[in-house]
Structure 1
Amino acid sequence: MKVLLFSEGKKLFSRSGVGVALKHQMQALKAADVAFTLDPRDSYELVHINTLGLKSWKVLKNAKERGIPVIYHTHTTYEDFRNSFLFSNQIAPLLKRQLIKRYSTADYLIFPSKYTESLIRSYGINTPGTVVSNGVDTTLFRKNETLAKEFKNSFKIKSPLIVNVGLPLKRKGLIDFVEVARRFPEYSFIWIGAKFSAIQPFSVKKVIRKSPKNLLFPGYLSFEMLLGALSAADVFFFPSYEENEGIAVLEACSMKCPVVIRDIPVYQDWMVSGENCLKASDIDGFCEAINMLLSDREHAIKLGENAAKVAQDRDLRIVGKKLKEVYSHVMGGANE
Structure 2
Amino acid sequence: MQMKQKKVLLYSGSLKLVEKSGVGQAVRHQQQALSIAGVPFTMDSKEDYSIVHLNTIFPDSVLKSKRAKRKGKKVVYYAHSTMEDFRNSFRGSNVIAPLFKKWITYCYNSGDLIITPTDYSKELLEGYGLKRPIISLSNGIDTDFFKWNNEARRRFRDKYNIPDEEKVVISVGHYIERKGILDFVKLAKRMPNYQFYWFGYTNLNLIPQRVKEAIKQSLPNLHFPGYVTREEIRDAYCGSDLFLFLTHEETEGIVLLEALAAKIPVLVRDIPIYKHTFKDRETVYKGTTTEQFEELTSQILEGQLPDLTENGYQLALERDIKVIAQRLLAIYEQG
% identical aligned pairs? 39
Residue 211 (structure 1) shift = 5.2
Residue 39 (structure 1) shift = 2.0
Q: What are the equivalent positions in structure 2 for 1:189-228 lying under 5 Å apart?
A: 189-210=196-217, 212-228=219-235
Would the aligned equivalents of 1:193 and 1:221 in 2 still touch at CA under 8 Å?
yes
Q: What are the equivalent positions in structure 2 for 1:45-60 lying under 5 Å apart?
A: 45-60=50-65
CA 1:288 to 1:212, structure 2 compared with 1: closer, same or farther past 3 Å? same
What does residue 91 of structure 2 align with? 86
Task: State the number of aligned residues.
Answer: 328
Which of 173, 177, 190 is matched with 1:183 structurally? 190
**Secondary structure in structure 1 of the residue aligned to 2:177:** coil
Would the aligned equivalents of 1:178 and 1:211 in 2 still touch at CA under 8 Å?
no
Residue 68 (structure 1) shift = 1.5
**Secondary structure in structure 2 of the residue aligned to 1:189:** strand
What does residue 334 of structure 1 align with? none
Q: Distance in 2 between matches of 1:3 and 1:243?
A: 27
Residue 298 (structure 1) shift = 6.9
What does residue 317 of structure 1 align with? 322
What does residue 333 of structure 1 align with? none
**Secondary structure in structure 1 of the residue aligned to 2:153:** helix
**Secondary structure in structure 2 of the residue aligned to 1:171:** helix
Q: Does structure 1 residue 128 correspond to structure 2 residue 130?
A: no
> Deviations for 1:50-85, whole angstroms, at most 9, x for unmatched residues?
111111011110012122221111101111111111
Q: What are the equivalent positions in structure 2 for 1:91-170 lying under 5 Å apart?
A: 91-158=96-163, 159-170=166-177
Residue 203 (structure 1) shift = 2.1
Amino acid paired to 1:161: V
Q: Distance in 2 between matches of 1:125 and 1:225?
A: 39
Residue 299 (structure 1) shift = 1.6
What does residue 34 of structure 1 align with? 39
Q: Distance in 2 between matches of 1:174 and 1:122?
A: 29
Q: Distance in 2 between matches of 1:211 and 1:47?
A: 47
Q: Distance in 1 between matches of 2:200 and 2:112?
A: 34
Higher mean alpha-carbon deviation, 5-14 vs 320-329, is at 5-14
Would the aligned equivalents of 2:299 and 2:305 in 1 still touch at CA under 8 Å?
no
Q: Distance in 2 between matches of 1:274 and 1:13?
A: 34
**Secondary structure in structure 1 of the residue aligned to 2:248:** coil
Q: Distance in 2 between matches of 1:101 and 1:10?
A: 19
Q: Distance in 2 between matches of 1:150 and 1:110?
A: 37
Q: Distance in 2 between matches of 1:133 and 1:40?
A: 25
Amino acid paired to 2:125: I
Q: What are the equivalent positions in structure 2 for 1:214-293 lying under 5 Å apart?
A: 214-293=221-300
**Secondary structure in structure 2 of the residue aligned to 1:299:** coil
Would the aligned equivalents of 2:15 and 2:56 in 1 still touch at CA under 8 Å?
no
Q: Distance in 2 between matches of 1:7 and 1:125?
A: 24
> Deviations for 1:36-59, whole angstroms, at most 9, x for unmatched residues?
112222211111111111110111
What does residue 3 of structure 2 align with? none
Q: Does structure 1 residue 72 correspond to structure 2 residue 114?
A: no
RMSD: 1.4
Residue 108 (structure 1) shift = 0.9
Q: Distance in 1 between matches of 2:35 and 2:59?
A: 28
Residue 315 (structure 1) shift = 0.4
Q: Does structure 1 residue 14 correspond to structure 2 residue 26?
A: no
Would the aligned equivalents of 1:40 and 1:59 in 2 still touch at CA under 8 Å?
no
The answer for unaligned runs of 5 or more in structure 2 is 1-5
Q: Distance in 1 between matches of 2:232 and 2:50?
A: 39
Amino acid paired to 2:141: V
Q: Distance in 2 between matches of 1:238 and 1:144?
A: 22
Higher mean alpha-carbon deviation, 236-245 vs 160-169, is at 160-169
Q: Distance in 2 between matches of 1:224 and 1:53?
A: 29
Amino acid paired to 1:108: L
Q: Distance in 2 between matches of 1:9 and 1:217?
A: 27
Residue 292 (structure 1) shift = 1.7
TM-score (norm 1): 0.94
**Secondary structure in structure 2 of the residue aligned to 1:116:** helix
Amino acid paired to 1:114: D
Q: Distance in 2 between matches of 1:30 and 1:221?
A: 26
Would the aligned equivalents of 1:138 and 1:254 in 2 still touch at CA under 8 Å?
yes
Would the aligned equivalents of 2:156 and 2:235 in 1 still touch at CA under 8 Å?
yes
Residue 306 (structure 1) shift = 0.8
